[in-house]
Structure formats: structure tokens, C-alpha cells
Amino acid sequence: MSDDLSLSPNEKLAALIVEKLLEQKLIPQKRAAEIKHRLAEGTAKAEDWRNWIELALPQAAQESDHE
């Protein structure tokens, strides 16, 4: 995460949340920028969270099968 002083508090929090979700493989990497933007803007809905996590679950399972 960048310590860019030009980021708003919402953007900083969104970046931290996305970073932690990625570490836990709860969201897909390819959607990280979109998720961060929607969190910072306050436009993420319950359905969005469900979709993001449902997209990440098969990918996380696939990665753990290859370990």
C-alpha cells in the first residue's frame, strides 16, 4: 500500500481493505482496482461483496490444490 498524501481517508481505507482481502484470497486479483474504487466511493452493495467472494473461491481452491 502506498503512503500517498494525496489519497483521501476513504481511498486509504479502501486500499487497506483490498490489500487484506487479497492476502486472504477473498477477492480475485483481477477485480482489485474495481473493488477499491467502489469501496472508496461508497457504492459497493451486498450483492457486489457476494459476487466478488464467489468469484474468488474457485480460484483460491484451485491454487490450494496445486500447493
Contact between 24 and 59 (Cβ < 8 Å): no
Sign of CA dihedral 53, 13, 24, 27: positive
Which position has the higher pLDDT, 10 or 4?
Answer: 10
**How sure is the predictor about 46, in pLDDT bands with cuts at 50, 70 and 90?**
very high
Does the structure show a pLDDT above 70 at 45? yes
pTM of the model: 0.75
Q: How confident is the model at residue 1 (pLDDT cuts 50, 70, 90)?
A: very low
Whether residue 14 is predicted with pLDDT greater than 90 in this model: the reply is: yes
Task: Give the model's confidence band at 65: pLDDT under 50 very low, under 70 low, under 90 confident, else very high.
Answer: low
What whole-number distance in Å separates Cα of residue 44 and Cα of residue 24?
19
* The amino acid at 39: L
